[in-house]
A and B are shown apart, each in its own frame.
Chain A
Amino acid sequence: MLAELLQGTDTGGFLVIQDSCSCSGRTLLKSLINAALNREETVHVLCFDVSEEELKDGLKTSVTQRLHIHNAYIDPLGWSDHPAFTVHQFNLVELTHLVKQTSHTKPATLVIDSLSWILRHVSSPAVCKTLQQLKKGGAVRAIIGLLHADMHQRGTVGSVCHLANSVITVAPGTKGDEATAKLTKRSKSGKVLQDEEIFSINEDLTVTVQSKPSNPEHKQSDTIEQQVDPTANLTFNLRLSDTERKAKEKLALPFVFSKEKKTALLHSGPGSGRILYEPDANDDYDQEDPDDDLDV
């Protein structure tokens, strides 16, 4: 599933990478940015956590005209006179304006590094509202956010992940350069897919999925039942040969009248008998209610 997520989230999708101090998710984030750039997409990055140089390190320099980094690392709270991007600019209006300024024909992918920074300075309901508006609006094609799960209360992490279409939780793996990823993907129909994979990230920021973790597979594959033909393997014959079928169709059924008699019976004139029923007071005898005739 990790490979599918790398190939591109669906339009209007929100992907959250949850990491902790034991295992950083930034390299996975960079590989996602790399994959998006390779797909000829425009990528806008809101850079809060690390400096621009550190983020650009490892990304191919040839494609940087499609990569727009908004440096919020220098002055995120707007203390100086001309901040590049502040945390208070994280709302629908400003972000749409930002993305539309430098956008090309296709809507852009927005990468947020990291959501934790924003959540510390803007209230969680406001952040959730902005994320939901970005998801629904057409300015941004997909949103990828990095969230440090150990920095926030469980409710906050839960609320943000509740909005997400896919969540990748990275944890340290057994070997040195490997990490385990727990993936949860919610499709539009409401179906939830879960997976756990071991991956490692190469020098050129491509991801190699190693294998499933060593726990045995709990899920059993659905056995496709063969369609059993009940008429096979019987001691008597249920099939009809052609002559038998013709004889069956020629059989005259009882109460089958000629066409004239049928039409006469179906479309009879007003002279035939009718049943006129007018319900009487005595007729309302309800079998279930024995006291129905009491005058209470």
Chain B
Amino acid sequence: MAAPMNSVGKLLAERSPFNSTSFQKKTRSKLISIPGTRPSVQNGQLLVSTGVTSLDYLLGGGLAVGTVLLIEEDRYDSYSRMILKYFLAEGVVCRHELFVAAAQDNPDDILQELPAPILDDVVIPKPMEQPRLSCDPQDSLDAMKIAWRYQNLPKVQSALASSSRFGHYYDVSKTMDPEIRQAAKCHCFYLPEHSPPSSTTHSPMLESYSALLKSLQEVIHREGFDLTTPMSKSRNILRVGLHSLGSALWGDDLSCHDNPRHRHTLTTFLYGLRALLRSSLSVAVVTVPSHLIQDRALMGSITRLCDNAIALESFNGSERETNTLYKDYHGLLHVHQVPHLNCLASQLPDHKDLAFKLKRKQFSIESLGFSCSLIPAEG
């Protein structure tokens, strides 16, 4: 019994750190296989995870590449910001590229606050420790008393899991290790740092939104996410996070006045954004402070222009906080729109009354009245 165990051990030690088996699944499909994505079971679209597994389930398995998710912010922008951070953290873990734009806080600050992934699911690209063949046998043998046969095996952290696993869990009480974060490429757009050029052409968009759209277009083209360019190297996904569009800090008076002068600036921007996303391998999450926008018709057209739309209503400070029905939850979640991409009917969620709760290791979305999780048991 001792000999075969030992030889397998040696074999494992010799392989590259990220492959603990020689198994490779034979794929005959023509879909480009990018880490962190999977095809949808409903319509074959390529899906990415939003970082929140229960939200993935609500959206029909994940966020389709090329679409926009609109999150209507809660009153103090705590939970919508959290979901944006989950989205970006998922991008770092799946090794996608990130594009973050904000007018209020520096995007670097947002990136510093990303939650830490729960480690046994993630491969950290650290240089592997060499198996200790020549070290002092006294120390190495005393280290493990019962499992001493595994002494020399390298510390593999479920390498196969990270490329095939869809959706990770995060611990919000800790921030992501800077090493993991710096492994991912991030493009930032901080509005105060972009001086508005003097616009001579009359554009239906504000300068801030035009600058943002131009910057995004330039990144997509330069980094090769454009689907029109021929496939030269391996493809990756660009995750775009736009914080608080439509707020006064973007120069938009949509959230200030009942009859805004810039009625069509945000809608024009969203139209351009969606066109840009459809022709590239990117996915966007946009948060909008809808509680400040008084014109409901305009809010309706903003919702129609995004493919997925959810609204968060937190109980913080509202009179609902004291309602016994809501005492286990942090707020309500309303799904305003689900996408129908290349199909006639869309998959609506079964439950309409949804409530969310931000737990330390999970952002859970449950149906009100039934305290069961939405995700069906895997089996």
Q: Contact residues of A with B, CB < 8 Å?
A: 123-125, 127-129, 132-133, 153-156, 158-159, 162-163, 184, 186, 190-192, 194, 218, 253, 256, 259, 262-263, 265-268, 272-275, 277, 279, 284, 286, 292
* Given A155-B293, A159-B247, A194-B317; A267-B133 close (CB under 8 Å): yes
Q: Is the CB of B321 within 8 A of A124?
A: no
Give the shortest distance, in Å, between B288 (CB) and chain A (any CB): 12
Q: Is the CB of B76 within 8 A of A186?
A: yes
* Given A190-B78, A265-B6; A132-B257 close (CB under 8 Å): no
Q: Is B141 an interface residue (CB 8 A)?
A: yes
Q: Write the chain B residue with the least CB distance to A132.
A: B249
Q: Is B271 an interface residue (CB 8 A)?
A: no
Residues in B with CB closer than 8 Å to A262 are 137, 141, 148
Known: A125-B251, A253-B145, A263-B141. 10 other contacts (CB 8 A): A154-B258, A155-B293, A156-B257, A163-B249, A194-B316, A194-B317, A266-B6, A267-B137, A268-B6, A274-B7
Residues in B with CB closer than 8 Å to A190 are 76, 78, 81-82
Residues in A with CB closer than 8 Å to B257 are 124, 153, 155-156
Q: Write the chain A residue with the least CB distance to B26.
A: A284
Of B77, B141, B292, the residue contacting A159 (CB under 8 A) is B292
* Given A158-B292, A218-B321, A259-B141; A124-B7 close (CB under 8 Å): no
* Given A158-B291, A272-B7, A274-B10; A125-B248 close (CB under 8 Å): yes
Q: Contact residues of B with A, CB < 8 Å?
A: 2-4, 6-8, 10-11, 22, 24-26, 76-78, 81-82, 104, 133, 137-138, 140-141, 145-146, 148-149, 151-152, 192, 247-253, 255-258, 289, 291-294, 316-317, 321-322
Q: Is the CB of B26 within 8 A of A286?
A: yes
Q: Is the CB of B6 within 8 A of A155?
A: no
The CA-CA distance from A258 to B51 in the complex, in Å, is 50
Give the shortest distance, in Å, between B251 (CB) and chain A (any CB): 5
The CA-CA distance from A277 to B82 in the complex, in Å, is 47
Of B104, B145, B253, B258, the residue contacting A132 (CB under 8 A) is B104
Of A125, A192, A256, A259, the residue contacting B316 (CB under 8 A) is A192
Residues in B with CB closer than 8 Å to A159 are 247-248, 255-256, 292
Residues in B with CB closer than 8 Å to A284 are 26
